[in-house]
Amino acid sequence: MSAATDVISNAIGGALQPSASGRRQPVFNPATGEPVAELPLSTVDELNAAVAAAKAASVEWGQTPPLKRAKHMFRFKQLLDENAEDIARAISREHGKTHADALGEVSRGIEVVDFACGIPQLLKGEFSRNVGPGIDSYADRQPLGVVAGITPFNFPAMVPLWMYPIAVACGNCFILKPSERDPSAPMLVYELFKQAGFPDGVLNVVHGDKEVVDAILDHRDIKAVSFVGSTPIAHYVYTRGTQAGKRVQALGGAKNHMVVMPDADMDKAADALMGAGYGSAGERCMAISVAVPVGEKTADALVSRLKPRIESLKIGPYTDPDADMGPLVTKQAQERVLGYIDKGVEEGAELVVDGRGFSLQGYENGYFVGGTLFDRVTTDMTIYREEIFGPVLSVVRAKSYDEAVDMIDAHEFGNGTAIFTRDGDTARDFCDRVEIGMVGVNVPIPVPVAYHSFGGWKRSLFGDHSIYGPEGVRFYTRLKTVTTRWPEGIKEGAVFTFPT
């Protein structure tokens, strides 16, 4: 199966449709800087056609027995398993992450499909017999109709799979608007979805930018929108979508802290920070970008272990099986991250390892930045306050455990955090107190498994529902409660008091 076509098509009503849009932009291989595909920025008419196809399919699909919907889902999961290598290659070619990392992404996406296969059980309602004389009551969750998802570049296969398998299993039809940076992987996954035998119109893919996103947010036939991306856009999507009367869950950016207590195993903590800080070149919303050692001795021990590890990071293209991390996704992302490193120096942080000027022979035009470490970062600095989304780790030295927790709570983001310690009391207190949605104890990247749900607090999530897992089922359905009485139970005459 080919990983990408030259010009990326939309998928509307079960057919691949080239966009008529005159607006197009290239998709690059970040390791080489060469264009590998061309992406149309679709028109509002094309989005409207996708919504019409989804709406037409939604009545029958919503009535299809959940067990039958699950059968397609099982087939889809099998196809994903069989094609995981191809999907991973398509991800890496346009995103830049290593092949092993991309395979990990695919497997976390497949876990959500696995979860969605259990939809008959997940949709089982509640029944109460004899809520009154001869009266029974039941409550169940029904699909919303047409729903949409808008996804970021950093997990082009997994994040869409956080959304539509559950939405579709619940009986909805879906419009996906993937990232413009790496559209080939979601299209490959779409092809497998189609092969799994889902009816036409159940899943539609429309590529584009703000114009299509705005059309999604305003379209009266789209009942709910899932968004994952940066915080300013998440806030915008939430505000505009809810103003248009939609249910919206909008997941945003992050600045994840890892507290290292004096009693932690320092080598394990340093290893954990390497994977969590530099894996995927730091382009993960659950990346650790701030290390908070408690006490000067802890800080010195940690920094002395991190420095040689960062200096020996193996950076390369995804075709290099030994690479620990690859390039950043675009030239603009590379320039933005380099700008943050300059800013950190300017604002007085101590640059321990400088990733600027990194160059790889044969890949001079790739968007690489070397692993970077700042020590003695303070909370007023730009590199502390803002999400850098690159291979840059900041060490903020805390005098006490309480200072570390207060620092985390005061940050605008609340996605993930971790604590490394051998002390159960401290760990338990941390889990109770910290104002963060996902917490790890000696686990640096605490991404919940597919049968739990994923979501941050504060400005990392706008809306009331986390994504996937049981929260996903709630988000993509609405509750209906029915009370029944049959004629024999109905006494003659009108009753004007409130039913009891």
Contact positions with ligand NAD (CB under 6 A) in 151-170: 151-155, 159
By CB under 6 A, name the one of 160, 229, 390, 446 that touches ligand NAD.
229
The least distance separating ligand NAD from the CB of residue 370, rounded to whole angstroms, comes to: 21
By CB under 6 A, name the one of 233, 259, 273, 419 that touches ligand NAD.
233
Q: Specify whether the CB–CB gap between 494 and 158 falls below 8 A.
A: no
Of 295 and 448, CB closest to ligand NAD: 448
Beta-ladder partners of 290 = 257, 394
Residue 253 binds ligand NAD (CB under 6 A)? yes
Q: Specify whether the CB–CB gap between 37 and 94 falls below 8 A.
A: yes
Of 143 and 178, CB closest to ligand NAD: 178
Residue count (the chain): 500
d(C-alpha 303, C-alpha 309), whole Å: 10
Residue nearest to ligand NAD (CB): 229
* Dihedral Cα 64, 65, 71, 74, nearest 10 deg: 100
Note if 173 is an active site residue: no
Instruction: From 48-56, 90-98, 145-153, 483-491, give the range in contact with ligand NAD by CB under 6 A.
Output: 145-153
CA distances from 94 to 33, 155, 403 (A): 10, 11, 41
d(C-alpha 270, C-alpha 304), whole Å: 9
By CB under 6 A, name the one of 166, 185, 251, 315 that touches ligand NAD.
251
Instruction: From 29-37, 114-122, 252-260, 342-350, give the range in contact with ligand NAD by CB under 6 A.
Output: 252-260
Residue 124 binds ligand NAD (CB under 6 A)? no
d(C-alpha 309, C-alpha 270), whole Å: 8
* Given 170, 173, 285, 431, the catalytic residue: 285
The least distance separating ligand NAD from the CB of residue 207, rounded to whole angstroms, comes to: 9
By CB under 6 A, name the one of 141, 387, 388, 396 that touches ligand NAD.
387
# of chain residues touching ligand NAD (CB under 6 A): 27
- Starting at the earlier edge strand, list the strands of the sheet with 15-17: 15-17, 10-12, 203-205, 173-177, 146-150, 222-228, 247-251, 461-462
- Annotate each residue in 59-98 with x if it binds ligand NAD (CB under 6 A) or - if it does not, as one string: ----------------------------------------
Instruction: From 25-33, 90-98, 149-157, 187-195, give the range in contact with ligand NAD by CB under 6 A.
Output: 149-157
By CB under 6 A, name the one of 115, 193, 389, 476 that touches ligand NAD.
389
Of 276 and 352, CB closest to ligand NAD: 276
The least distance separating ligand NAD from the CB of residue 74, rounded to whole angstroms, comes to: 27
Residue 456 binds ligand NAD (CB under 6 A)? yes
Look-up: residue for tokens 């059968």?
Answer: 71
Residue 179 binds ligand NAD (CB under 6 A)? yes
Interface contacts to ligand NAD, rule CB under 6 A: 150-155, 159, 177, 179-180, 209-210, 213, 228-230, 233, 251-254, 285, 387, 389, 415, 456, 460
Task: Give the residue numbers annotated as catalytic, written as ranges.
Answer: 285
